[in-house]
Amino acid sequence: MFRRLSLLILLPFLGLLLAPITAWTHGGGLDTYGCHHDRKHGVYHCHQGEFEGRSFASQAEMLAARPESSTTVPPQVPTRQFSGKVVRVLDGDTIEVLHNMRAVRVRLSGIDCPEKRQAFGQKAKQATAVLVFGKDVTVQTFGHDKYGRTIGDVILPDGKNVNQELVRAGMCWWYRKYAPGNTELAHLEADARGSKIGLWSDPNPTPPWEWRHRGR
């Protein structure tokens, strides 16, 4: 009887010892890409899917490596949120928010505004400044990009989503490569394009990712 009881007590510990090493050396479950943030090694590592076995500096770096034809669309769920006053607008899609006495640089998620030297680049920056500068906002975060910027949706005190408002005003593109499943941004861009407002008044606007690729 004592021997049987001892075996029952030991069984859970034996299971842990026999479990695959990767199950407990890496923290966190897999996302819909089949990857996760490996806290032990400080990388974004893929166990399944198109990048199985590969590691990246961040999820943003992995997304940049995906082909445009990729159909994997994960749900975008904020990892956390914080609030603070907007103290600086660097360009149309990058701001700084004062939080805990520190200016946090935020790259607005799912959108890409014209670069400052592009047509509508300065107008996009001004539009963002009008919306957020000096205001207390809430940032819903989605991790960080390869430059260390916080990726997030910026929410105004009245509940409006700044990312969406900029697309609605024709001041930026829906950045479909990094937000392929964001149907709201897709619809807002289509409406702005159809109404020829903002940058869509140009008969042939150049997407900023193409402009950057040309080394401008």
Residue with more model confidence, 106 or 2: 106
Give the model confidence (pLDDT) of 13-30 as tens digits. Answer: 444 343 333 333 344 466
| Segment 152-181 mean pLDDT | 94
Residue with more model confidence, 197 or 58: 197
Task: Give me the helices (H) in 50-182, please.
Answer: 59-65, 121-132, 162-168
Mean confidence (pLDDT) of the chain: 82
Cβ within 8 Å of residue 119, ≥6 positions away: 199, 202, 205, 206
- Where in the chain are all domains bearing CATH 2.40.50.90? 80-213
pLDDT of residue 71: 52
Cβ–Cβ < 8 Å for 112, 101: no
Torsion of CA 57, 174, 172, 212, to 10 degrees: 40
Length of the chain: 216
pLDDT of residue 78: 56
Residues annotated as part of the active site? 107, 115, 149
pLDDT of residue 65: 80
| Segment 28-50 mean pLDDT | 74
Give the model's confidence band at 57: pLDDT under 50 very low, under 70 low, under 90 confident, else very high. confident
Give the model confidence (pLDDT) of 76-131 as tens digits. Answer: 555 689 999 999 999 999 999 999 999 999 999 999 999 988 999 999 999 999 99
- For domain 80-213, which CATH number applies: 3.40.50.720, 1.20.1420.30, 2.40.50.90, 3.40.190.10? 2.40.50.90
Question: For residue 93, which amino acid is it?
Answer: D
Q: Which of 68, 75, 30, 64 is nearest to 49 (CA)?
A: 30
Cβ–Cβ < 8 Å for 174, 185: yes
pLDDT of residue 18: 38
